[in-house]
Structure formats: C-alpha cells, structure tokens
Amino acid sequence: MRYAETGYNLEIDLSRGSIERVETDPRLTELHLGGLGTSARILWDRVPPEVEPFSPDNLLIFSTGLLCGTPAPGANRTIVSSFSPQTLFMAYSMMGGFWAPELKQAGYDKVIIRGKSPRLVYLWINNDKVEIRDASHLKGKGAIETARLIREELKDPKIQVLAIGLAGENRVHFASIEHMRSSASRLGLGAIMGDKGVKAIAVRGTKDLNIARPAGFIELCNGILKYIEWRREHPIKGVPPILAYIGSPQEMAIHDEEWHTTGFSWGHARHRRKDFWTEEIAKRWKEIQDSAVERLISCYNCPMKCGGIIRHPELERYMMKCYSKLTYVMAAMADDLAFGFRIAGLAQEYGVDGFTTPQVMAFAIELYEAGILTDRDMPGFPSSNEERFFWLLDKIVRREGIGDILADGVYWAARKIGKGAEAFDHNTTRKHEQMVIKLGMLNPIYYLMYATGEKSNITQIEGQIPQAPLPKEVREEFVADWPHLPRWYEKEFKEFILKWEPRGEYALPFYPPPDLICKLVEWQETMHYIDDSTGICAGLSSFPIKPPYHINNLPQIISAAAGLDLDDAELWKIARRNRNMVRANNIIRGLRRKDERPPDDHWKKRFPDYESKLQDEYYQFRGWNKEGIPTKETLNELGLDFVGEEFERRGIL
C-alpha cells in the first residue's frame, strides 16, 4: 500500500490522443519525495537536452507534492515543470489553491503531458474517467472566464480548473497558468501549455488517501495549527510588516507599503522614490485597497488568509495575493493604486506573469523615450504611462505589431530590436526578469542566491532570516526563541544574528565570513526544495521567519504521513539531491558560470574580485567544480551516479 501519495501518474500524449494510468516506482519517492524532485528526475530521464521548449517531445508536468491532499495544513501546492521558452533551462513554478489536492483525491500524483493537439482542447479528469475534450468554444476566452464556463458546462461548481488566457494561446514567453486563487506565473509555462493546445485542465476527485500512522500524523498537524494560531498573535519584532507574520506576504491585509515603495524600484527597475510615501498617499491607498478587496480568502486546508477577492469595474471578480498589486503601479511610475488593481485583473484574465509583464512594458516605454522605438514601431501610442500600459498589454498578449517582439521578454526583445536596446536589459538573470529592486551595498547572501538559484527567481530561494540587522534590543529575544535552526548550524547562525550590524566591522558585505554565507544560503534553499517536493506552502515553511514547518519537525510529519524512515539529516540530503537533480537538467542544457550573475545594477556598490572568490567558495561548498558543475564524487554520494556518467559521456565532466 502507498501512503500519502496515490502511486499513479496520468500520462497524456496529445499527438496520439492517448491516456494512460501509470504506476510509479516507490523507490523514487524515497529518493526525491515527490513534486519538484520526482518531476526533475522525469525530465532528466525522458527529455533529451536537444529537445526545445516548443517541441512535441517536451513534457509539461503538473505535480502534487507528497503531502498534498493530506490533513497537513497548507499542503496544497501544484508544482508545474517543463523547459522555459525564456531561459531555455528547466522551469518550475508553484501555485496554491485547490487543484493539487483535488488531483490527489482523483487518484493521481502527476499529470504528464507530451505531444501537441491538432486543435484546442481541455482535459477533464473525473476520478477514473479521463477525457480530452474539444475547447474550440473557449478559444480567446480569459483564464478566469474559462474556469467558470467549464464548471457550468460540466454542471459541478466543485470542479477545480487550471487555465490559460489569450497570452498562453499565443505563446507569449511569460504566459501564466491561472487557478483563480493562485497562478504558476514565472518562466512561461503558460506558453508551453498553449503550444500543446491545452486550454485548461479540470479535475474532480472524491477518493481517500492512505496515511501511514494516522493518529500520530493528526497530532503533529494539530501542533502545526496551534503554532499558526500563536504566531498570528506574535509577529516578529524589529522587521518590516511584510516579514513580521507568517503565510504568503500579507499584501491584501497590509496597508503600510513604505518599505516596498521606498526600497523597490520604479520604472524599468531603475528609479527610487524615497520621498513618495506620505501620510496623504498612505490614507488614499488604504481607502482604495479597502474598497477593492471584497474579502480575504485561503487555499485548501489552510487557516491563513493570504489572498483577496478583488472587485474589478469591467471583469469578473479575481483573486490577488502577494506583490502584484504594486508591480504595475511602480513600473508605470503611477501614483494610483486603483490603476494597479485594474490592470492586474486584466493581466490575470489574459494570463501573464505579474513580475515580468510590467517590466517588459516599462522597457518598451524607455526605448520609446530614448528614440530607439518610434511612432512607426508603435502607431497610436498613448501619451500617459497608465494608458501606455493598457495599450502595450493588449498588443503583447495578441502578439500584434511591436507586441509580437515584446512577447518574448526583455532579453530576447532587446536583441531583436537592436539599435542599442541591449543596454536597457539590465534586470535579467539567465534571460529572465528579476525582482524590481535597486539597493546600495552588495549583499553577499543574496548575491549567491540570485546568481546560482536554479529557478532564476529570488522569491523562491530566500527566507528564514531577517533581511537586515535586527535592532539591538530584540536580538537576544530573537535567538533565545529559535528552535527552527538546523542543529549542525545552530550556534553559528545565532552568533551571526547577535553580531550583525547596519555598518562597521559586522556589516555586509564582508561579514559574515564566506563559509557562513554559504551555509545561510544552503539553509534557505534547502527549505524551498523540501516545500517544493512536499507541496507545503512556502508561506508556512521556507519563506517566513520562524515558520510552523521547519527542518526539526518536518521529518516526523513526512514519516507519519508517508511511512518513510526520515531524520533531519536524511531529509536535508534528499533536498540536496533534488537541488542537484534540477541543476543537472540545466547543466546538460548548457548552464555555466558565465550565466550565473545577478542583474548588473542590482546593487550600487559592487566588489567584483570578492564576488568571484565568494562564488568559488560556494561552488566548492556545494561540491561543484569551478564552472558550477556537480563533481562525480558529489553525484555519486547523492545516488545520482547516472548523471555523472552522462556528463562524462558528453564531455561535460
């Protein structure tokens, strides 16, 4: 009997029109847990590096995590994996909501799609009955509208739907996959779904899951719930409001945006507006947000309410969470938060990434203002930035005119446009747009995470520690109540927090020492890899400070659910194995040290020699060579000897 997982994947070949229910190897669960870990292994085994993202032979994998659908609070993430049309490397993105638990309860751990449909279709998974259905009537429909129409067509309001909008149909390289309460936004997975001709995947499941030790597991889950309730009432002292609580960043509940609006960038990730946040602005934005947010909502089996149902003047209600209420406002240099709610809703219906899209549009405006793009390229271009953003969004999702070029993202668009446009590509890493932040002094911890993170997305790497030194008066209290640390690093991490100062001997970039920097990066990344394989929301584990899930209780929770014999060291090793498995997919596709750098102007004060030595030290710490390639010894230690053999066969090692 399989515990926590179903033991079956659903394999769909759209070129052949075939549907298969395939039993999985339990040994892979022991090695990789599930979710991202097993998906990375499937991509390695079945998609050769010569296969391009828009090839029929590329796979698109929708995966549950190992704990999805169990009573584990917040274990609801869908992990979508493939190869990105933007970076050309492995892409993965997570979404919350209800879809992954519904798939588990329908009897499947993953949906694996290959091939291409000759016509637009949607998939209907109803427990054991699975159909490929015509979706011609949904062509051009918005993602949110599509989900509603499918539920009406199938006459069941409980059906959970993933869908793409017009951007995915037109293979916009930063198209998202939407699920009402959440989305898989980054790295263009919606474009892969559109390229395969899949408009949506609808799921209804009513089956039970087996738990290895139910009584013990429920007791552990109740402990997590009790801690969540306690942490709600005990925010972390000495950090900005956005970091003080648990859950995904509480953007729909928090009104104080001074930290974001003064620390993050305006325009195409260039400008700072330190004088922007005033009492008048704060009051006006609060009124706008309170009128726009109808109510706060949660994902499956989670007591936190991190998202909001948003009223839109022209569209159906939509869901928003995290930072997307500000990305369009700040990129457009707008002062009106209502503009952010309006355009974000339209963008979600079109199905585009809320981080990349505003940067692409601001990039186009800067090229226009610099004379690189002209009225000949953009006939009828409006005069105000807000109007320009709506104009550009429409062109991009339809791939009309200049929008056809911009739809490939900043890196590729700059090289197609030429005439100096490449100089305006200064906020990408691995050809992927990064967070719009411009800071002063180099942060070596973030330098390594930006440079070497496999997802090319800092928000899926960071967490666990304060982002700046704590006030002296709260440091002792902070470290005294910190049971979340890996036992082998506990003393060093506590000393770091106690010594860390805004300036002087114990300030960044030369404090802490490189070996401790490597350990801090490893810890943050490790927790994300555990979450991405178990399906636990990062907002309850890898992202917040002092979360309910951590390295010291997760082994017991996973073991009680899945029947695996795990301790903290073995769980750490599994996460390390998964991290190297994802990296192997990228290395075999050409990733090398030259690709691993943060945006050039992310920090004003840089130290190239120090950064290079730091990267050397981190590669060595991870068991990689000077090019960032895992050594044969590292791969063998992790049970990935087949990767080393393939690297040798191809002359990579």
pLDDT tens digits, one per residue of 67-105: 999 999 999 999 999 999 999 999 999 999 999 999 999
Who's near 214: CB < 8 A, 6+ residues apart?
Answer: none
Distances (CA, A) of 332 to 347, 361, 616: 14, 8, 39
Tens-digit pLDDT profile for residues 189-233: 999 999 999 999 999 999 999 999 999 999 999 999 999 999 999
List C-alpha distances in Å: 137 to 115, 179, 338, 352, 580.
22, 19, 33, 21, 43
% of the chain beyond a pLDDT of 90: 88
Q: In the block, which residue shows the tokens 């979340």?
A: 484
Q: Where, residue-wise, is CATH 1.10.599.10 in the chain?
A: 439-649
Is residue 35 very low, low, confident or very high in pLDDT (cuts 50, 70, 90)? very high
Region(s) of the chain under CATH 3.60.9.10: 8-204
- The CA-atom distances, in angstroms, between 188 and each of 31, 109, 164, 356, 567 are 28, 23, 11, 10, 36
pLDDT higher than 90, residue 4: yes
Average pLDDT along the chain: 95
Distance CA 171, CA 398 (A): 10
- Binned at pLDDT 50, 70 and 90, residue 242 comes out as confident
The whole-number pLDDT of residue 313 equals 84
Q: Which amino acid makes up residue 284?
A: R
pLDDT for res 440: 87
Helix 279-292, helix 337-350: angle, nearest 10: 40
For 35: left if phi > 0, alpha if psi spans -120 to 50, otherwise beta; the answer is left
Pairwise CA distance, residues 105 & 127, whole Å: 8
- Give ranges for CATH 1.10.569.10 in the chain: 244-429
Residues in the chain: 653
- Domain 8-204 sits in CATH at 3.60.9.10
Asked whether the predicted pLDDT for residue 268 surpasses 80, the reply is: no
- As a whole number, mean pLDDT of residues 53-73 equals 98
Taking the mean position of all CA atoms in its chain, how far away is CA 131?
29
Percent of residues, the chain, with pLDDT higher than 70:
100
CATH class entry, domain 439-649: mainly alpha
> For residue 265, what pLDDT is reported?
85
The alpha-helical segments, DSSP class H, found in 196-252 are 214-232, 241-244
Q: Exposed, middle or buried: residue 135 (CB in 10 Å: 0-12, 13-18, 19+)? A: buried
Q: Identify the pLDDT of residue 323.
A: 81
Query: Is residue 269 predicted with pLDDT exceeding 80?
Result: no
pLDDT of 312: 87
Structure tokens at 610: 């120090």
| pLDDT at position 270 over 80 | no
- State how far the Cα of 55 lies from the Cα of 52, in Å rounded to an integer: 5
Q: Which pLDDT value is given to residue 377?
A: 97
The answer to whether 547 touches 557, Cβ cutoff 8 Å, is no
Closest CA to 579 of 626, 643, 514: 643
Query: Which tens digit of pLDDT belongs to each residue from 512-554?
Result: 999 999 999 999 999 999 999 999 999 999 999 999 999 999 9
Kindly indicate whether the domain formed by 244-429 is annotated with CATH number 1.10.569.10: yes
- Looking at residue 461, its pLDDT comes to 82
pLDDT band at 284 (very low <50, low <70, confident <90, very high): very high
pLDDT tens digit sequence for 447-465: 999 999 998 887 768 999 9
Query: Tokens for 402?
Result: 């200049």
- Residue 609 and residue 163: Cα distance in Å, rounded? 47
Average pLDDT over residues 5-13: 98
Res 318: pLDDT: 86
Please count the CA atoms within 13 angstroms of the CA of 585 that sit on its side-chain side: 32
DSSP letters for 401-441: THHHHHTT-HHHHHHHH-TTGGGG--SEETTEE---B-EEE
- Report how far apart the first and last C-alpha atoms of the chain are (Å, whole number): 40
pTM beyond 0.85: the answer is: yes
- Residue 388 CA to its chain's centroid (Å): 28
pLDDT-based confidence at 497, cuts 50/70/90?
very high
Q: What tens digit of pLDDT does each residue of 318-375 get?
A: 888 778 889 999 999 998 999 999 999 999 999 999 999 999 999 999 999 999 999 9
